[in-house]
Structure 1
């Protein structure tokens, strides 16, 4: 994650007072801060890092500015949703031991719906993956994936409900991805129909509907996790947390691993040892590990496939690599149990 230095926060900015008098005391700062340096994250124009001039603390501010259109189905700003999600996970006691979930320090609807959370100094998971590929630090990636598998297993198992998965949501999401690829990236309608046919085949499988719903992270990509010493896992960006199939998270991360290795090596099988390791480690938190592994790996191809579709629709993906992603997505979506 790269930061761009923007200067000092003006003292007459209302956010300055909010950080001084509402946020700083929660971080154990009993003197009044003298001011703040401001940095912008390169991945989003509405996310900033605020650093107290004396180095006492750093926090992240996420905004939802006036006039910004909310995504279909949303009834409140995503920053408010994330504040509530983070508060709930902290109340569940998930922020303990080696698990660190970013702390919700404040939500202020009067300051462009800003959400303020604490900042983690760990290493982004994406860097760990790149080091495994480029520097052959494979064992370290295996260890970090084990730690992440434990966190997701604890999150999912602790929140498992009594009602079953509603596959209509990931089914509809698949359709939106397909239409986005047609309308924005020029995918042929004939190819879209092939993806729609595969989607229908998955809908008819009882295994896609029978597991219990759990709370999922909702955007389990490497950019939303950092790692520290040992098994420490740092978790953030939980605005998309939802009740869903646990494999939604597992397939998202598996698809991202496949993408990282495919993009760097050109080998569609290069990520398989890491994907298999991650899933096997996750299943170690169930009474019958092998039975859990069989159940999860039946559903993984669908969620991995739609993750590849999600990546393929990005504007930064060139035509040749988009074709590779679409072909890999088809291969996975054809693996119907």
Structure 2
């Protein structure tokens, strides 16, 4: 069964599946006389397998996440599917769905098709506010949303375990992204070797190891956060894990850099928003100024990883992908500029 954008044909397998399987889990919301339903499917921005589904006559909306379309074999799909369900339980166990924020909890699960249905929260993605800030001068609104996101992430990261950070996993991922960029001719061999050298030098720094593991989102991209007023609704829990909070924060910073540049052509357009986001997060901690200093010192490493990660998206413009790798290298070189290597 294929899930794709557009109006769902009433003769299709997907139509019958949505009508007879998924909506049956929410049958109390449908008027009994609605026998000819009108489903529309919209792929969420920057997502391969998360879709918003709207039944136009009733106005019912929900999200479906389908791993069936992945190129991986069924064993891998099953593992990712099960991990996401386990992560939902982690959020529920730790009471993360609180403090004014909302977590998407499945109302329908189909293990045979590796499909999960979530309630849809009204609101706009973070990317909507980034674009409006750049193109329509709505920077104050974007800062307001970044404050709300900082509040959610701080609330999430309060769940800490005693173990220290294991940095080798992110290093392997980072080096793999660099090699992928080289294979795609986004960088040359010399730049790839320099990047690997700088990554290894960063890893030697105490600031990357001096942290405790906490609960992190693991995929803090703009499409995974919806905003309604001061509240954040969080979707896509597949990558929830224990790790360094700077991984989440650096990903938000890297996404801000990427999207502001993409919409404005100004490589410095995101700087004020990144600083605001880090301060809003830090001021919620016990020692705001010390926290801000430590987190912003670590930011270039995780931001560089994020920029190389985004550069791997083939649907982006070639020149923009090359710029992302350039910015990633500039972040890695901050090791020397900021005096951390001495």
How many Å apart are 1:190 and its aligned residue? 1.4
How many Å apart are 1:284 and its aligned residue? 1.5
How many Å apart are 1:129 and its aligned residue? 0.7
Instruction: Name the residue aligned to 2:194.
Output: 194
2:126–2:226: 8 Å Cα contact kept in structure 1? yes
Distance 1:191 1:93 in 2: 45
1:80–1:107: 8 Å Cα contact kept in structure 2? no
How many Å apart are 1:193 and its aligned residue? 0.3
**1:334 is the counterpart of 2:333:** yes
Instruction: Name the residue aligned to 1:83.
Output: 85
Instruction: Name the residue aligned to 2:203.
Output: 203
How many Å apart are 1:4 and its aligned residue? 2.3
Q: Cα RMSD between the aligned structures?
A: 2.6
**1:143 is the counterpart of 2:144:** yes
How many Å apart are 1:325 and its aligned residue? 1.8
1:62–1:79: 8 Å Cα contact kept in structure 2? no
SS of the equivalent of 1:275 reads helix
Distance 1:272 1:120 in 2: 30
Instruction: Name the residue aligned to 1:50.
Output: 53
Q: Decide which moves more: 42-51 or 313-322.
A: 42-51
How many Å apart are 1:153 and its aligned residue? 0.3
2:31–2:58: 8 Å Cα contact kept in structure 1? no
How many Å apart are 1:39 and its aligned residue? 1.2
1:38–1:48: 8 Å Cα contact kept in structure 2? no
Distance 2:86 2:108 in 1: 10
Residues 251-266 of structure 1: matches in 2 within 5 Å?
Answer: 251-266=250-265
Distance 1:192 1:168 in 2: 19
1:51–1:59: 8 Å Cα contact kept in structure 2? yes
**1:244 is the counterpart of 2:243:** yes
Q: Structure 2 regions of 5+ residues with no counterpart?
A: none
Distance 1:98 1:3 in 2: 32
How many Å apart are 1:335 and its aligned residue? 1.4
How many Å apart are 1:234 and its aligned residue? 1.3
Distance 1:290 1:87 in 2: 34
Instruction: Name the residue aligned to 1:174.
Output: 174
Q: Decide which moves more: 265-274 or 284-293.
A: 265-274
Residues 107-146 of structure 1: matches in 2 within 5 Å?
Answer: 107-110=109-112, 112-146=113-147
Instruction: Name the residue aligned to 2:323.
Output: 324
Deviations 1:277-331 (A, max 9, x none): 1001101221111111111112111000111111222213334323322221111
Distance 2:106 2:39 in 1: 20
1:284/1:10 Cα in 2 relative to 1: closer, same or farther (>3 Å)? same
1:149–1:282: 8 Å Cα contact kept in structure 2? yes
The TM-score with structure 2 as length reference comes to 0.87
2:103–2:234: 8 Å Cα contact kept in structure 1? yes
Deviations 1:161-183 (A, max 9, x none): 11011111111110110111122
Distance 2:332 2:285 in 1: 26
How many Å apart are 1:84 and its aligned residue? 2.1
1:30/1:311 Cα in 2 relative to 1: closer, same or farther (>3 Å)? closer
1:69/1:98 Cα in 2 relative to 1: closer, same or farther (>3 Å)? same
Instruction: Name the residue aligned to 1:307.
Output: 306
1:329/1:14 Cα in 2 relative to 1: closer, same or farther (>3 Å)? closer
SS of the equivalent of 2:22 reads helix
